[in-house]
Structure 1
């Protein structure tokens, strides 16, 4: 449960980065909301990788495989996030910012599951392996 709480805290920071930069890009910079979502998601993803690797899952090694898995999970999540955002905004006509909160909230649970069970999963050693 501690990992989930830490993951949640990192998620709150990532959400603030993602939604804050998303709002900036669409309302101040006048950017298309899907492009703004992609750039904002990448900013949150960089923060997420650093904090999840070092603090939540405490991966000390610098494994290229961990990075590739994390990137794969987040590319999948970005696709789901963008599709959900498109459906909420273009088809259901929800507000862009409200839609962003919705897709980020739903994505957090799936992201935790994939990140903890696959991307940052640590090999369990038996006493025979030592």
Structure 2
């Protein structure tokens, strides 16, 4: 649930920046990269401190987080372009579909690789509220 709440905030920031940039005439791919970066910063801060309550060193997590998000960004950008330009879907529908797919990959990577919850969820940890 926490990851979903953070994801909604990230998606809101992403969509807002993306919409503003494309409305101002920015290229779709450029707008996607900038908007994704805005959501990514929020994602790291909230997921590290609240969702997964990680106490691992940032020097271990940050490279993994960046790598995961670069992979997700590449996949989401490719899917956005494929759906919008290739399949002729509306820009908003393409953006939402690509973002949803990216969220699934991002959750799995964050949960099991970046923040490494070591086999138990944040809801069952003894230090969870």
TM-score, structure 1 normalization: 0.87
Report if the CA contact (8 A) 2:52-2:115 is conserved: yes
Aligned pairs for 1:12-91 within 5 A: 12-27=8-23, 29-91=24-86
CA distance in 2, matches of 1:33, 1:54: 32
CA distance in 1, matches of 2:104, 2:58: 25
Q: Which runs of 5+ in 2 are unaligned?
A: 120-129
TM-score, structure 2 normalization: 0.88
Aligned pairs for 1:91-106 within 5 A: 91-106=86-101
Q: Which runs of 5+ in 1 are unaligned?
A: 125-130
CA distance in 1, matches of 2:85, 2:99: 17
Residue 90 of structure 1 and its aligned partner are, at CA, apart by 1.2
CA distance in 1, matches of 2:86, 2:54: 41
- Count residues with an aligned counterpart: 119
Tell me the residue number matched to 1:111. 106
CA distance in 2, matches of 1:123, 1:86: 36
More helix by share: 1
Q: Which has the larger radius of gyration?
A: 1
